Chains A and B, each alone.
Chain A
């Protein structure tokens, strides 16, 4: 079985956020980590590898320094790493990103593609389902459990108040929740090997069946009109009165704001 896992290097948002003058994120200026949902997806792939035998390829799109997350993934047990990087891919929204990754994945054989549900920088949860659409394969989002059954995959798919047990023919794309599996640690041997491992680096020329008009900032249907550091909510009203007046005040506010 061949599994492709899409991972993303994301800014560690605990370290604060910096912007380029055009409103896009200045990724070069921030501390980075492997996106947590993606790491859970990688762990799911590695467990399937342990259980059924599989070749696990990790792929990321990003700046050259994104190779760090590929090496981390290989130190955890991934077999191959592919970095998709090219100046023309910069500034991509989810449409252009999913076009890029689908274009790269078309070079590969795969039974299963696993992505994280969403990245902690954008929080959109769009790229996984969009890749599946471009590749014409089924998607199962929000996976909380994954099993293989012959040529199919059986997945527990989380909804708000229920879960569905779904069966899909492979090839199929699954998006993983961070809760899916606690990720394993890198092994010392794995870290040693991953430092020396050959990574595959692809650029625009390696993307299959993708037009230039669908790539990078120019190929992005959504455009940023305005971005700003979050304005901290200013202080509202504060009162210091007796109990009855305080209670009347709260009830009045709840009415004005249509809570009751």
Chain B
């Protein structure tokens, strides 16, 4: 493999029902950082049926080029034709980096593609940067520059590992949704579109879709929520969760809770965060009236931003909180809701 032939940062622009997923813009955003470090461009790879109209939106978020693979076989996501599309793009265009969202689609597609083209794939990355491998020089071992260093949590979040893929191209990663920043949208940007169709011939690997069933439930799984407003024993009663519901409504957030709240019968088990509940990693986690037992921390401490409100200054939740507010939640939470309403209305 001649590594020098491989150029450019490529991202898979995931769409479902011809609507682009936010992860596509997040990957373009991160891709721009990496491309700037390498002095190259970001190319979005848009795969589907009748999707060409989405290309400009990708340009608006910063894609320098958009490769469109458009074919009726690609209407609904299926592993084989999508894997064929991406593997063919990689063989034809030879990118040095290929990023895919760590979504239910990307975590299926990524491994199939990486196995087909024989390269490494690092799963669920939370940080990507360009650097040297090995990170520190080792006598007798070549230190390669401009490598993609991919950082991910492992072992139930007990450890952090940084992975490199020095001898194969492209360097592939799936990236956890909601972690990377989108660039500001530049309305009116036009995509530089390259149409590419490798041909799709159904074989034994093509599965048949008998039915597509969309979820009818409108409750968001707390594991998928971007913002969680989580309450603990300090909230005081099932009725008093109303003040958390109001705050959540303003922020488009979801309400979750600690074990004490479930044990008290104030909330159902599927809203419980913690070692015996669910592990959550939202962008923002409000811990309201939660003292922060170690079992609770294990389920939420990887949240990007933790805001704790508690009247007990020595509560352990303050040890992991980015922003800790000592005070009475019954006064602060409703006041915060009103202030946010005013702020958001002014926008």
Contact = CB atoms under 8 A, between A and B. Distances in A.
Interface class of chain A by DSSP: mixed
Given A129-B112, A161-B215, A240 B326 contact: yes
B104 interface: yes
Interface stretch (A66-74, A131-139, A182-190): A131-139
Given A161-B215, A222-B122, A244 B335 contact: yes
B213 A98 contact: no
A80 to B, nearest CB: 26
Given A138-B79, A139-B108, A259-B227, A230 B313 contact: no
Interface string A213-237: 0000000111111111111110111
A32 interface: no
B138 to A, nearest CB: 11
Q: For this complex, into which size category does the number of interface residues on chain A fall?
A: 35 or more
Interface string B58-98: 00000000000000000011111001000000000000000
Contacts of B325: 238-240, 246, 249-250
B168 interface: yes
Contacts of B2: none
Contacts of A148: none
Q: How large is the interface on B (under 10, 10 to 19, 20 to 34, 35 or more residues)?
A: 35 or more
A14 B149 CA distance: 28
Nearest to B324: A238
A166 B122 contact: no
Interface in A10-35: 11, 13-14, 16-17, 19, 23, 25
A140 B124 CA distance: 20
A228 B164 CA distance: 15
Given A13-B158, A225-B164, A243 B214 contact: no
B135 interface: yes
B329 to A, nearest CB: 10
Contacts of B153: 123, 230
B124 A123 contact: yes
Contact of A138 (B205, B214, B306): B205
Nearest to A160: B104
B119 interface: yes
A142 B104 contact: yes
B335 A11 contact: no
7 closest residue pairs by CB, A with B: A221-B120, A222-B120, A238-B324, A133-B115, A236-B322, A126-B111, A124-B123
Interface of B: 16, 76-80, 83, 103-105, 107-108, 110-112, 114-116, 118-124, 133-135, 149, 153-168, 181, 204-215, 224, 227, 251, 283-284, 301, 305-307, 309, 313, 318-328, 331-332, 335-336, 339-340, 343-344
